[in-house]
Amino acid sequence: MLDAVCRLEGEEAVTYSVFKFQAFDEAEIERLRQHLFCPACDGKAYFRKASRDGKAACFGSRYHQLDCGEFKPSLSRQQEEQDAVEVNQLLLDSEALVIDFARRPRNRKNHQVNTKEQQAKVQQVETPKAVYQAEPQTDIQADTQAYTQLPMQTTDTAKFVSDKLADKTSDKPSDKRVGSEGLEKLLNSLLRGSDLASSDLWVYTDAKYRWRAKNLFVNFKDAQPTENGAPRMYWGTISHCDKSMQWLNPADCKDVGIPIDAVQAKLQQRFGIDSRRDLEGAGIIIFGKCFWNKDKTRKIIQLWNRDISRMHISVAEEDE
């Protein structure tokens, strides 16, 4: 997009061209960029600066209406729409969902590691011991505390969950299955309006802990510190990050920050992030805990155990 509407509370809306907007100083851009909207359909918009490799500054939106004149569907957008359809079908067909944290991103830049030894290290998923308390276990998993087995691969976890469901429903076998999906497809579906965030489906983060989907998936604007630091699956889009790429700032909220300094190098390699610009307007989902900073002026969402497999970032296409 070449234009975007800026609406600040208490001020008259102003339409900026990308040429005028990029000429503002850094402080003014930071002040305005969380308040941008598509001039045609009013979808939440973002600003991406010009890149060192010659890409021009632009406005974009991941929230265009389908009939919006500014909407130019990219291949990634079409994939996201398809993912939303498939996840909605999964909600209908499945009795439970296991999140496959080991599944690698589908669309990445050429940032693959080269040696077999490095690949083995990157693909090895460390499943840390759970030290949080999920919501009370009822019905099927009233005996959760009895689970003592070691961390499993996702396929084993799905089979384990399926067997437990079958044991508890043996009087009337169900024709539904236990589904398994990676973070990429789940994020895409959330961004494109699937019913996942409002579903009553049981979602397992491992063989032991489960939540109702509606209690697990939380948009950044609705994030609140949880009791005892219990984790949630936070999702939404990124407005921008700081100059040193140590903090991510979600869109639609000014009081939430995501520290990435401890995993910055791994994050850049895994998701093909070359610069701050790649993060502007990107979709993100992160399994982490939310808590207040010392002064209780900002909510921090911290990646669980600094495990990079517990998050996914979807870089926005130029034509979205």
Please determine, for residue 287, whether its predicted confidence score (pLDDT) is greater than 90.
yes
Please give the pLDDT value at position 79. 81
Please determine, for residue 159, whether its predicted confidence score (pLDDT) is greater than 50.
yes
- The phi, psi pair for 301, rounded to 5°, reads -115, 110
- The phi, psi pair for 48, rounded to 5°, reads -115, 130
**Mean of pLDDT values over 80-106:** 88
> CB within 8 A of 127, min separation 6: which ones?
101, 151, 152, 206
Q: Write down the residue that tokens 């994050």 correspond to.
A: 267
Count CB-CB contacts under 10 A for residue 198: 11
Rounded to the nearest 5 degrees, what angle is found at the Cα of 288, between the Cα atoms of 271 and 102? 50
Tell me the two tokens of residue 79.
């994939």
Contact 205, 309 (CB under 8 A): no
Tell me the two tokens of residue 283.
């979709």
Instruction: Give the C-alpha separation, 169 to 174, whole Å.
Output: 7
Please give the pLDDT value at position 101. 93
DSSP classification of residue 306: G
Please determine, for residue 30, whether its predicted confidence score (pLDDT) is greater than 90.
no
**Mean of pLDDT values over 226-239:** 93
Please give the pLDDT value at position 72. 67
Please determine, for residue 107, whether its predicted confidence score (pLDDT) is greater than 70.
no
Choice between 14 and 157, residue whose per-residue pLDDT is larger:
14
Please give the pLDDT value at position 165. 62
**Amino acid (one-letter) located at 21:** F
Please determine, for residue 168, whether its predicted confidence score (pLDDT) is greater than 90.
no
Please determine, for residue 163, whether its predicted confidence score (pLDDT) is greater than 80.
no
193 three-class SS = coil
Contact 281, 241 (CB under 8 A): no
Task: List, for residues 115-140, the tens digit of each pLDDT value.
Answer: 344 344 434 433 333 333 333 333 33
Please determine, for residue 114, whether its predicted confidence score (pLDDT) is greater than 80.
no
- Max avg pLDDT among 22-31, 47-56, 60-69, 215-224: 215-224
Please give the pLDDT value at position 175. 55
Report the share of the chain in percent with pLDDT over 90. Answer: 44
250 three-class SS = strand
Instruction: Give the C-alpha separation, 58 to 1, whole Å.
Output: 6
Please give the pLDDT value at position 176. 66
Task: List, for residues 234-271, the tens digit of each pLDDT value.
Answer: 999 999 999 899 999 999 888 999 999 999 999 999 99
Contact 179, 163 (CB under 8 A): no
Contact 315, 46 (CB under 8 A): no
* Sign of the four-CA dihedral 254, 259, 260, 261: positive
**Mean of pLDDT values over 138-161:** 41
Please give the pLDDT value at position 138. 34
Please give the pLDDT value at position 155. 54
> CB within 8 A of 116, min separation 6: which ones?
none
* pTM, to two decimals: 0.69
**Mean of pLDDT values over 57-79:** 76
Task: List, for residues 189-225, the tens digit of each pLDDT value.
Answer: 999 888 999 999 999 998 888 999 999 999 999 999 9
